[in-house]
Structure 1
């Protein structure tokens, strides 16, 4: 009996001690977040210059076709273009989406071999379907499909293994949500052109659905390089909402980068902001390149054919030459190039895209120093190609190799030395003329490194 009383006393004594002790402090993250300056925050992106856009979701299953009809424009708009009801879209598209051939490591390898430094995946497009395991809604790839895997998680992990920066695209507009654009069936996106079309419950969607899902993506998948918004054109979304969204992102991940479509300042497809105080870190020209350089950060996004999403009927593939020239042209004007692939419903990137990217990768293997970390040309565009610059070096990208072997360099560039980037062969400099070998080392774009005297 005495032993029992003694044990009870000891137990109560220990409990009392435990109750008087302070609770242990939550262990801090092993990697403290150091808030960078804006220039420091943008540095990796400005250095990268070349990234992969991935438009992928259930819309890849029909590939832009329904009952013998082909939707105009991008196949990712099929829900709107071919008049699906929400119920039909769920049954005919979402419920048969089973991308069993999806391989995140393979996708990242294709991007890396092409010389791309970052990947932007569509986490949710306008159809409202989430490509991650969202707790906000069951309308996602994990809970709604037999595939049942978190694509955002797998791709984020694959990117980090290969030192590729993972980023995500997110649609502000939502054709599936009852507090967003779903009420405008059969023309879900009528609000893009008719600003009188509005859903009075959109603020609830913004506060209770849109923001929480973005918060999930920024909380559960590690460091995010870029948050790439789209669909800001609807009347329901306001500049106040845009600034609120931007501030939330900066609180969650202060060193991420956000495009200008988070706010309402974008000037159409030209992509740069109109005058005013708008949130966002870079402009977004779509399928076009500014005529001249722009004195601010910008990124041009392009498709390889005419569609962002998978569309097998679209055979108008751009050539590797055109896309390499586009990359050079964009960098010569101080921009980034975000080039899209649209995997099919099984998770396979089209062969045509892979072949084009492989060719671009071959060119980048030999000439990437003229792209990575480069800035806009310090002089006007030459007739024979483009210039990019880095410190006291200018890179001459020669598209049209001169038959007489004499490359005329802008007189403002005081060239001290010149050599071919591919192979390093030294070239003779005679004033403003660089003497070239008879044959171009590259049929698409040969690059000459010009070291300047000043």
Structure 2
């Protein structure tokens, strides 16, 4: 059976978009190509034979798997998902079924995925692979070729050609990913385009056959998979039902693009992590390394700052459930760990001096700050019989000790009961 428990508890993962498109870095023949770095072949309308030459220039001599995985670990990320093959069709691993890969087609001639597998095992981080199952701009049977239609999501390949591509390339490479690198946490498929329900299910079955605990995300297509993916950078309006994940960027692009300096602040990223956790959604936050193998320092700094916050407040993110109230609070967000001795976590964006919550029926036994667990906060609980209203008030210290988000931990007795 697929193992959902680790994924539900993880809440926070690293996405890595890395491929030979990093050589172009958003440029082609001296001109900037609009949109995303990893889409330079499509948006730049680059012929296959010209794009292939980027492989000969890809030599990431500064790549250090330990450095990358250590960064994910320090950031508090519990899983790492890297592009094994993006839409350009280039395999970033040693693929026996294709010579269009990092070992056979680049001067680097080394399998970076093997290094990442070892580093992830050392750090206790789940290694996961992104694989573009439908779009493949290199294989004639793949979808999404820029010279066949005005948009990538239009079906352009005959059914028999696409079926042949799946059998000749996609399935063999998925098999390789699941048999060459030890236990894999999940396979992250993307943009199903013209794939039919039977083909989507066959990919799910292949993954589960080779590694029964390995998860498959919902972008395998046709409402298949073990959990669902929201849109890129999408934030739901409220708590969601079921298992969901949001893939998100630190700047605008996924793959490295030299002119993208639109970096989100650490505060923005941290509040997105908190907001998504409060809605029951995992946060898969992307980095786009350079062609040399360097994660941009702007990304490193932000992830380390998030990690410093997680070192103190991670309990309010990992293995939590979403806000049980049918509304959000002006002062911040709520996550919960239910149980015989449950905990509410109040993520304070603002610092009002006293925070009040209506509708908590349980008896509160203690309230503290996660950043100062030995100092108990004053708590008052009241009940108004006529209004049938339970009120909880927690007095906060005069000064906010842990910006930009301070977490108040409220411990309560019994199974969580909210009257709202």
Task: Calculate the TM-score normalised by the size of structure 2.
Answer: 0.91
Judge conservation of contact 2:149–2:156 (CA < 8 Å) in 1.
no
How far apart, in 2, do the equivalents of 1:187 and 1:346 lie?
33
Larger deviation, residues 173-182 vs 207-216: 173-182
Looking at structure 1, the residues matched to 50 and 319 of structure 2 have their Cα atoms a distance apart, in angstroms, of 48
Shift of 1:71: 2.2
Query: Structure 2: which 5+ runs fail to align?
Result: 382-391, 415-420
Q: Which of 85, 90, 95 is 2:47 aligned to?
A: 85
Partner of 1:281: 227
Going from structure 1 to structure 2, the CA distance change for 1:423 and 1:188 (only over 3 Å counts) comes to farther
User: Which residue pairs with 2:417 in the alignment?
Assistant: none
> How many Å apart are 1:284 and its aligned residue?
3.4
Q: Counterpart in 1 of 2:113?
A: 152
In the alignment of these two chains, the number of paired residues is 397
What residue is the counterpart of 1:45 in the other structure? 7
Residue of structure 2 aligned with 1:400, choices 350, 353, 362: 350
- Structure 1 residue 244: Cα displacement: 0.8
2:251 aligns with 305
Say if 2:364 is the partner of 1:364: no
Q: Does the CA contact (< 8 Å) of 1:112 and 1:164 recur in 2?
A: yes
Which structure dedicates a bigger proportion of its chain to strand? 2
The residue number in structure 1 matching 2:38 is 76
Q: How do 1:186-335 and structure 2 match up within 5 A?
A: 186=147, 190-192=151-153, 194-195=154-155, 198=158, 200-233=160-193, 235=194, 237-265=195-223, 278-335=224-281
Task: Mark the runs of 5 or more structure 1 residues left unpaired by the alignment.
Answer: 1-35, 266-277
Q: TM-score, normalised by structure 1?
A: 0.85
Provide the residue aligned with 2:395 in structure 1. Answer: 435
Tell me the CA shift for residue 410 of structure 1: 3.0
How far apart are the structure 1 equivalents of 2:228 and 2:409?
A: 29
1:94 CA displacement: 1.5
- Structure-1 separation of matches of 2:213 and 2:72: 23
Deviation at 1:199, TM superposition (A): 6.3
Secondary structure of 2:24's counterpart equals coil
- Tell me by how many angstroms 1:430 deviates: 1.6
CA displacement, residues 87-144 of structure 1 (integer Å, 9 cap, x when unaligned)? 11012x2210111100000000111000001100100000000011111010000011
Once the two structures are superposed, residues 370-415 of structure 1 have per-residue CA deviations (whole angstroms, 9 ceiling, x without a partner) of 011111111132110000000211100000111xx11112332543
Runs of 4+ with >4 A deviation: 196-200
In 2, the alpha carbon distance for the partners of 1:83 and 1:167 equals 30
Larger Rg: 1
Aligned Cα RMSD in Å? 1.6
Q: 2:75 corresponds to which residue?
A: 114
Distance in 1, matches of 2:245 and 2:146, equals 33
